[in-house]
Structure 1
Amino acid sequence: MKTIILTSDAGFDHRVPPPHIETPARLRAVLDAMADTPALADLKRIQTRPATREEIGRLHTPAHLDAVFNGEPADHEAFHGFDFDTYMCRGSLNAALRGAGAAVQAVDMIMAGEAEAAFCATRPPGHHAERNRPMGFCLFNNVGVAAMHALEHYGLSRVAIIDIDVHHGNGSQDLAESEPRVMFASIHESPLYPGTGMEDETGLNGNVVNVTVAAGCDGETWLARLENDLLPRVEAFAPEFVFVSAGFDGHRADPLGGLLLEEGDYIRAAERLCDLARKSASSRLVCCLEGGYDIGALGRSAAAFTETLSRGQGRHSAVL
């Protein structure tokens, strides 16, 4: 079976006011690095579809939907801000819909047997968006929308969201707090934005796992905590589908975090995630791009991670 990569040029239309760090150059860096990776270079890119309001509404409240659907300013040069770092411009809604749509489409293709693993190369990111508010660069929670799609549309009993971004995925934890069929497991730097994700936050149903590491943590220590403290808890939950918030801002070059990870650490993480998906979820694995703000490190890390998914899941891949 093949690994698929879903993307959308709409991600280039989502702009933010300078000197904001979550820019279209991030998506360009990822796609260019993938094109320069021999194992991925020949893959055809097809634009993904937008998610429907119904699909997004399985996760986000009507008030949240109204705020984002009506949030684009009339002026092409203007920005609408939800908070100090979360903005919309003309084009942002389509980008956000296609980001969520990529994750939903990945679920559909995997459930149809057309693929086993997927990487969604889209922006804006999603894991800070809570059920009732955009936040932290994020408009819709892409992995959360896809997780609810797997549960509600396909009738799965349990799914897991694993977050490897340097920042805690408070939005995905917000979902797990009210949805016992979802396990949320995060490894992240602490203290750091958004200030949530302490290790004693385990969820009302025991379905939340937070593993914290301090600034200066190297790849060996980070991987040991991933392998020993996080992944066994997810495996015990026995998910039928695994989702990954694939943030690469734990890289030592990243300006927003203090970890010391390198591309090789993301390769090893991808290998472990593939192993988990094979053991627990019939190889069903969807990874969505989250953070990563050093352009060079982001591109290299995302390409290496995705190549590992492809190698771990089979030799043939496609971009959709």
Structure 2
Amino acid sequence: MATALLTHADCLTHETPPGHPEQVARLEHVLHALARLDLVRVTAPLAAEDDILRAHPATYLADLRRALPTEGRRALDADTWMSAGSLDAAFRAVGAAVRAVDMVLAGDVKNAFCATRPPGHHAETDTPMGFCLFGTAALAAKHALDHHGLKRVAVVDFDVHHGNGTQDLLWDERRALVISSHQMPLWPGSGNSDDDGAYDNVMNLPLRPETGGDEMRQIYQTQAFARLRAFKPELIILSAGFDAHREDPLAQLNWKTDDFRWLTGELCLIAQELCQGRIVSTLEGGYDLNALADAAKAHVEELIKAAT
């Protein structure tokens, strides 16, 4: 078995203003870091419109299409921008995640990493925000549930910011478990530990500023992993943000690259125990370019290790 890498050049055409942290160079650095790894390299397809409409309403998609500039850039809010290539990039991000689910569930590969942008876990049902347009991880989960007929899918989000969009899109989905660890207080200000979903299907793990890897490992071992085992997912989807790294400029957690390596390895072991090792990971945040590249490489190396 092998690990798939899904990406597309369209994801480099989503342009933000100079100095914006969610920049084209993020994906360039990640792809450069992964260039020599032994991966099944797959060109990400465009998502079908139906893939988007599994969780977002048609009115929302129409609003984004109307907002798409033909040239230059347009602000959707203070942080979230669109350029002429943004919708194609976002459709590729969802397409990558959907195709990765198809490949993993078919047994074509053991696991997969989607190196795409814009990120997705802040996009709510009808609101773009936090650099995100579509809820990529949530849409991948819905595809696995609705198209493939899985009974239980878990989403684990270790981005430093709370995955408010994923929580919103899957709040009423009893077949999905959403686990999010994130710094608190920090934007977007959501993710309290008592936000537990319509069916007790959300687990938020707020972390204090300056939390390091040792405390993170303890919290995952004593809380998140036990919840995963109790849920018994048939597929695990990872919102792989690397902005909890100590070098990241947008937050104040103190994880090191080896902490991301450890967490990925442990999640792979749990996936092997519960669901034949089936993991689909999609890139979220990470804004120090070198730290992002190093941590993403460590993450994918653990996926490769688990697949062999």
| TM-score for the superposition, normalised by structure 1 | 0.94
2:61 corresponding residue in structure 1 = 65
- Where 1:115 maps in the other structure, the secondary structure is coil
Aligned to 1:309: 303
Displacement of 1:82 in angstroms is 1.8
Structure 1 residue 93 corresponds to structure 2 residue 87: yes
Q: Secondary structure at the match of 1:253?
A: coil
256, 267, 271: which one pairs with 1:262?
A: 256
Letter in 1 for 2:205: V
Question: 1:9 maps to which residue?
Answer: 9
Preserved CA contact (<8 Å) 2:237 2:281: yes
Does the 8 A contact of 1:227 with 1:272 survive in 2? no
Matches within 5 A, 1:197-276: 197-276=191-270
Where 1:5 maps in the other structure, the secondary structure is: strand
- 1:172 is aligned to 2:166: yes
Aligned CA RMSD, in angstroms, stands at 1.2
The residue that corresponds to 1:55 in the other structure is 51
Output aligned runs, 1:109-120, within 5 Å. Answer: 109-120=103-114
Between the aligned partners of 2:147 and 2:198, the Cα distance in structure 1 is: 25
Q: Is the Cα contact below 8 Å between 2:277 and 2:306 reproduced in 1?
A: no
Aligned equivalent of 1:141, options 131, 135, 139: 135
Residue 56 of structure 1 deviates from its aligned partner by 1.0
CA shift for structure 1 position 254 = 0.1
- Residue 33 of structure 2: SS of its match in structure 1? helix
The alignment status of 1:107 with 2:104, answered yes or no, reads no
Deviations 1:48-107 (A, max 9, x none): 101011111101111221122332112x22x22221111111111110000000000001
3-state DSSP of counterpart to 2:67? coil
- The SS at the match of 2:6 is strand
User: How far is the alpha carbon of 1:288 from its aligned partner?
Assistant: 0.4
After TM superposition, the structure 1 = structure 2 runs for residues 145-160 of structure 1, keeping only pairs within 5 Å, are: 145-160=139-154
**Which residue does 2:283 correspond to in 1?**
289
Structure 2 residue 8 is matched with structure 1 residue 34: no
The amino acid that maps onto 1:4 is: A
Which residue pairs with 1:318 in the alignment? none
In structure 1, what residue type is equivalent to 2:303?
Answer: L
Matched residue type, 2:66: N
> What displacement does 1:278 show?
1.1
**AA of the residue aligned to 1:70:** R
Give 1:127's aligned amino acid.
Answer: H
One-letter code aligned to 1:62: A
Unmatched tracts of structure 2, length 5 or more: none
Q: Match of 2:76, SS?
A: strand
Q: Is the 8 A contact 2:234 2:275 kept in 1?
A: yes
Structure 1 residue runs of 5 or longer lacking an equivalent are 315-320
Q: Is the 8 A contact 2:155 2:236 kept in 1?
A: yes
**TM-score of the two chains, using structure 2 as the length reference:** 0.97
> What amino acid does structure 2 have at the position aligned with 1:193?
W
The number of residue pairs the alignment matches comes to: 308
CA offsets 1:103-157 (integer angstroms, 9 cap, x no match): 0000111121101211100000000011111110001111111111001101111
Q: What is the letter of the counterpart of residue 92 of structure 1?
A: S
Q: Which stretch of structure 1 is more off in the superposition, 43-52 or 190-199? A: 43-52
Percent of aligned positions with the same letter in both sequences?
44
Amino acid at match of 1:173: Q
Q: In the alignment, is the contact (CA less than 8 A) between 2:3 and 2:39 conserved in 1?
A: no
Provide the secondary structure at the position in 1 that maps to 2:43: coil
174, 186, 196: which one aligns with 1:192: 186
